Structure 1
Amino acid sequence: MDTIAIAPMSRRNSITLMCCGGLLLALAILLNPFWPGPSVGLGVTSLALLFLGFIKRQDKVVSVHLTPEGLHYHHRKGEWFLPWGEIQRLDQPRLPDTHEPLDFVGLRLIPEHTHLEHIRPRLALALLMEQRPLHQLTASCDEGACMPSLSSKKHPHLTGVMAAYAAQMNQLRDGLGFDLYLPHSVLDRSSEQMVSLIKQYRQQALHQGD
């Protein structure tokens, strides 16, 4: 089977934004002696475009690799890998009350998964912060539950960031049904199409491994 590389949508147009920002900045400098007021506005706009383009360029060129061995997720703070056999279910997560699909690919892992043993604290902290909006969808903010617990009853040996990450994983599993989430911004197609692609690839990979 050939490896499939997924390039993130968030990286698109980064060069265009930086080129436009550079041109506007040059124009602002040229106009400043003659029209200082408008040139300031152009300068601010150009810096905003340059900054946005720079931020987009920080994302990985490839965010997801589908290989015969499993799924590789490449994040700017690190990466994780899941063998196909450790994925119990994958689909779009849905809101608990309305069942409206969320723009994510959800991955539910088998109970014996080893994901927490291989992820780095730096990446765990980044995912902990990025997935806070998902956690808030299933938590009661009035009861002060919008922040994940700093300890995990299922993983008492973990401490600090890793304990908080494990606790949030458990809470998201209970609330939305999945352990890991790929946001639409790291994909090159809709979440629904990505789910279909991964399912098909996984089935072929497992079939070849038999």
Structure 2
Amino acid sequence: MSGNENNTINKDASQTQSIKIRAASKRNGLTTFIVGVGVLFVAILLLIVLPKAVYLIGIFALSGSIVTMLIGWFKMREPPHSIELTKRFIHYQHRHGKWQLDWDNIQRIDVPKISQGIEQIPLSMVGIRIKDYQPLLDSISPRLATNLLLEQRALLLHNSGCATGGCYNNDLIEDDRFKMPDGTIVQGIPAMLANRMSKLRNSLGFDLFISVAELDRSSEEFVALLKQCHINVLQELP
């Protein structure tokens, strides 16, 4: 990482106000939707003027316009910012819900890696290892927790010899009961998420994962920013 990048990270991390991260996946949502609408009108015009023998061209154009409009619509549905970093916590927002994690509940931040032969391959993600699951489980919405369980199936199989991530594995089925270190019993969707995080910790070393698509920079740059914020916050604690 260059000196200029380090200076930028230190400057961002030292801001008194919150740092807001805009997801790369949200970019050009309105533009994509407008392009889709334009293609839709062209497709309708083609269906009107083209002879029936070449109707297929109009059908393809119509299908493409609908897909483009849907992509733009889903982009626009995402929150304006995917992540907000404050002096107290990391706040994650998604169209399915949100979670919040205090800085003093973070044990480790890094880019997770998987083993392929003798190589360690970095994933396009940021991994966070948590000290205590309970505050996260209390803050996460059930809908987002369910979405994470679905999205992380391929991630769970990365170190299981499944190249596609689509192989069946008993580890994909989570128990709906989880026992905390203090003996507290968690049930339902929060328990399933806790069991999933525990499995991911054993296989990849982290509990919580943020895709690079949710960021406005590379995973390595975001890890550096989080680490600097973490250091700054811990230094200010009494």
Structure 1 length normalisation: TM-score? 0.91
1:145 aligned to 170, 175, 180, which one?
170
1:118 aligned to 139, 142, 153, which one?
139
Query: Does 2:32 match 1:17?
Result: yes
1:55 aligned to 74, 86, 104, which one?
74
Q: Report if aligned partners of 2:179, 2:186 keep a CA contact under 8 Å in 1.
A: no
Partner of 2:127, secondary structure, is strand
Query: Does 2:227 match 1:195?
Result: no
Aligned-pair identity in percent equals 35
Matched with 1:208 is 236
Most deviating of 75-84 and 27-36:
27-36
Q: Report if aligned partners of 1:80, 1:118 keep a CA contact under 8 Å in 2.
A: yes
- 1:143: how far off? 8.2
Q: Deviations over 1:5-30 (max 9, x none)?
A: 00001111211211111111111222
RMSD: 2.1
Q: Deviations over 1:101-126 (max 9, x none)?
A: 11111000114752223323222111
Matched with 1:163 is 191
Number of residue-to-residue matches in the alignment: 210
2:63 aligned to 31, 44, 50, which one?
44
- 1:200: how far off? 1.1
Say if 1:112 and 1:19 are closer, same or farther in 2 by CA, change over 3 A.
closer
1:182 aligned to 205, 210, 213, which one?
210
Give the aligned residue type for 1:119. Answer: I
Q: Deviations over 1:175-202 (max 9, x none)?
A: 1001101111111111011001111122
Equivalent-residue separation in structure 2 for 1:174 and 1:185 (angstroms): 24
Most deviating of 171-180 and 75-84:
75-84
Most deviating of 15-24 and 149-158:
149-158
Partner of 2:20, secondary structure, is strand
Partner of 2:197, secondary structure, is helix
Say if 1:118 and 1:91 are closer, same or farther in 2 by CA, change over 3 A.
same
Q: Report if aligned partners of 1:140, 1:146 keep a CA contact under 8 Å in 2.
A: no
Q: Report if aligned partners of 2:178, 2:185 keep a CA contact under 8 Å in 1.
A: no
Most deviating of 146-155 and 123-132:
146-155
Query: Does 2:122 match 1:101?
Result: yes
Select the structure that is richer in strand.
2
